[in-house]
Structure 1
Amino acid sequence: MKFVIAPDSFKGSLTAKEAAENIRAGLARVYPDADYELVPMADGGEGTVQSLVDATSGELITETVTGPLGQSVQAAYGMLGDGKTAAIEMSAASGIGFVTKKTRNPLVTTTYGTGELMIKALDHGAKKIILGIGGSATNDGGAGMAQAIGVSLKDATGHELGYGGGALGDLATIDISGLDPRLNTTEILIASDVTNPLVGDTGASAVFGPQKGATRAMVKQLDQNLTHYAAVIKATLGKDLANFPGAGAAGGLGAGLLAFTQAKMERGIEIVIAYTNLQERALNADYVFTGEGGIDYQTQYGKTPFGVAKATKQVAPKAPVIVVAGNIGKGVDSLYQEDAIDAIFATPDGAKTLDRAIADSNHDISELAENIARLIKASH
């Protein structure tokens, strides 16, 4: 009997690796002699670096970089087991977690630290970079990132622009002659499922600006500034990014990466599936277990359980895919219509507080896996 165990993290309680180990522990109480293939997963959002490091026996490296408000912060990135691929989450350096309700201000927050992490990774020998760009505190179009990797952004008086989306309205010239030359040959994969353009009613400022502290007036200013920024990029580099799908991700960081590096966008889950060799490891599987903290109808739009199900069905079509979740939300019946996920189970919640449920997560997931294994055994 071969079990493939490929969950995402259970946000706030377990990493993907810990979730996988707990599922295995439960299954092993019923099938102690089975083969277990543990593949920690992620979808490009929070936890992607940890999952890729765990799945490839890589390492985490912590650096001091510039936070979104210009402060020094500690940020970790991963070097994968191949020794040449770095995994970075922009939120580790430029994320919303570094600002408070009082200090958040997309007119001044910067992606400079994300660019610094990219350079640190190159210094460590990275030839490829996987960059997850969710959870940003920024709306600067990736301008700070660009400056950190050697791009000069100057105003009409010849002064370098300051931090934040508020400064982009003064942009007069772009000079890429100082760009770190290693980036010309570095493959960068942007892990993002966001398809918003850079500007307009569905752009970075209008859709995501308010959650980063932007008032209605600020949203208007930020959108105008990003429109100007896109126009200067087009005039200087010949790249038309204003309406490019995904350019608005992470406050326009998508646009900055596409403008100044050899980057391309891919769905986060597809990147993780490729780099963890999930399909190869799922060959000859009898059962596939996946999961995450919460599952609902949105799971079919780029989330880990659905991606795992679709990928493993291609190589092990007869292996049932079983989802383990902390809670089940609305519309999960739609997930069964795609012939990918076969069954969904939630851990017992009872009359627990959220804190209690988190504290019990190791036990509850393991117990649930054991009960599913007993059902499997009884059906054989």
Structure 2
Amino acid sequence: MRILVAPDKFAGTLTAVEAAEAIAEGWRRQAPDDEVDLAPMSDGGPGFVDVLHAALGGELLVTTVDGPLEGEVPATLLVVDGTAYVESAQACGIHLTGAEQGGRAHTRGVGQLLAKARGVGVRRAVVGLGGSGTTDAGAGMLAALGATADVALTDGGDGLTGVTTVDLTAARDALAGIELVAATDVDNPLAGLFGAAKTFGPQKGLAEDDIVRVDGALEQFAAATDRRLALEKGAGAAGGLGFALMLLGARRQSGIELVADAVRLAERARAADIVVTGEGAFDFSSRAGKVPAGVAAIAAEALRPCVALAGQVLVGSREMRALGMDSAYSLVDLVGEERALGDPAGSLAALAQRVARTWST
């Protein structure tokens, strides 16, 4: 049998590359004669650059940029054939902000990465959006590229309160001639009931009062720039970084679709007998723009079964099939939460070995 292994990261425990290797190891224990093809995936969030580098090669440029609160953080730019790939989470990820940052975290470092991309002469820049700890509408990124306003643009979402005037001329000039792509994992607009603050604020440490205040500030920022773009799908990605990129002329593309194209996932699925994907928690949030649903859709087009291995499976069989999955298996159910967290690679390999007993013939 030919097995295509295409997981996302297991957040906080395994990168997508590590998860794919663990699944392959476990599968081979049970079915050593099976041919296992590894295609680690990303939806634009953490791991975006590593996954694309593994698939495309290219040059990794290591640098430092401003972190989302204070100090500098390391970041890596991938340059391949005139295209720069930027992983926004490296500059403003939730792992850099903690759970109590309120509305102070900014995206200045993302703008600095784009400036570095411009400096090496790329014709195209693809920004992976996901896993951010910020809700500043990308104002910090715009400021790093030269934008100005009648409020501070690098004080996070809180700093946008009362904004009435924003001048984007310098920021647009800074990236003139570069095709911009915003690779998003969500479809949310910038503000409102389904906007960046109200939908994702709680997981970024925003209390209820913070959410109301920051959402109002995002509305004001949209009014000062472009209300129409603020309603576009993906404008609320990464706390509004999607919106800021759109203000600079970026087109939006699904992150999972972009990575799937880069790794030739459809072609490899057609050559496989079964497709195996995975992520930390398989739940209903997996349905929109996330790796398992995207991989399952490609497997379905190839008329191949798709199964998911996850830290936790939080949907029933009916919901699982609605997400395009033939079956889903839980790491915690097999080995318990303590072992799953203490030895994630070994535990995932054990789960894969068990799944192979059912699916390898």
**TM-score, normalised relative to structure 2:** 0.86
In the superposition, the TM-score normalised over structure 1's length comes to: 0.82
1:202 is aligned to 194
Shift of 1:337: 4.4
1:202 maps to amino acid: F
- Residues 208, 359 of structure 1: alpha-carbon distance in 2 compared, 3 angstrom cutoff: closer
* Cα distance per residue 1:353-380 (max 9 Å; x no partner): 43x2233332333233334434445x5x
User: Which amino acid in 1 is paired with 2:294?
Assistant: G
Q: How far is the alpha carbon of 1:112 from its aligned partner?
A: 1.0
Aligned twin of 1:327: 312
Which of 315, 326, 346 aligns to 1:342? It is: 326
SS at match of 2:328: strand
Change (3 A) 1:83 1:77: farther
Identify which range, 144-153 or 162-171, moves more after superposition: 162-171
Q: 1:251 to 1:27 in 2, by over 3 A?
A: closer
State whether residues 64 and 72 of structure 1, in contact with CA within 8 Å, keep that contact through their aligned partners in structure 2: no
Alpha-carbon distance, 1:8 to partner: 1.2
Contact 2:65 2:75 in 1 (8 A): no
- The one of 258, 261, 283 equivalent to 1:274 is 261
Q: Distance in 2 between matches of 1:172 and 1:54?
A: 44
Q: Per-residue deviation at 1:221?
A: 4.2
Deviations 1:41-90 (A, max 9, x none): 12223333322222333454432211222x2222323416x343333232
2:346 corresponds to: 363
- Cα 1:290–1:161, aligned 2, differ >3 Å: closer, same or farther? closer
* Residues 360/207 of structure 1: CA separation in 2 closer, same or farther (3 Å cut): closer
Q: Which residue of 1 aligns with 2:13?
A: 13
Give the drift of 1:251. Answer: 2.9
Structural mapping, 1:165-314, within 5 Å: 165-169=157-161, 171=163, 173-179=165-171, 181=173, 183-209=175-201, 211-214=203-206, 218-234=210-226, 240-259=228-247, 261-314=248-301
Residue 207 (structure 1) shift: 3.9
Distance (Å, rounded) in 2 between the aligned partners of 1:91 and 1:30: 36
Checking the alignment, whether the CA contact within 8 Å between 1:296 and 1:331 is kept in structure 2 is no
List aligned pairs for 1:51-66, cutoff 5 A: 51-58=51-58, 60-66=60-66
Are 1:120 and 2:108 counterparts? no
| Contact kept? 1:186, 1:262, Cα under 8 Å | no
The structure having more radius of gyration, on CA atoms, is: 1
Checking the alignment, whether the CA contact within 8 Å between 1:13 and 1:361 is kept in structure 2 is yes
Match in the other structure for 2:94: 96
Of 135, 138, 142, which residue of structure 2 is paired with 1:139? 135
Alignment coverage as a number of residue pairs: 361
User: Structure 1: which 5+ runs fail to align?
Assistant: none
Check conservation: 1:77, 1:87, Cα contact below 8 A. Answer: no
Corresponding residue number in structure 1 for 2:107: 111
Q: From 144, 148, 153, give the equivalent of 2:149.
A: 153
Distance 1:291 1:162, change over 3 A: closer
The answer to whether the 8 Å contact 1:43/1:268 transfers is: yes
What is the deviation of 1:10? Answer: 1.8
Q: Deviations for 1:76-120, whole angstroms, at most 9, x for unmatched residues?
A: 23416x343333232221233333455x131x4321111111112
SS at 2:12 equivalent: coil
Unaligned runs of 5+ in 2: none
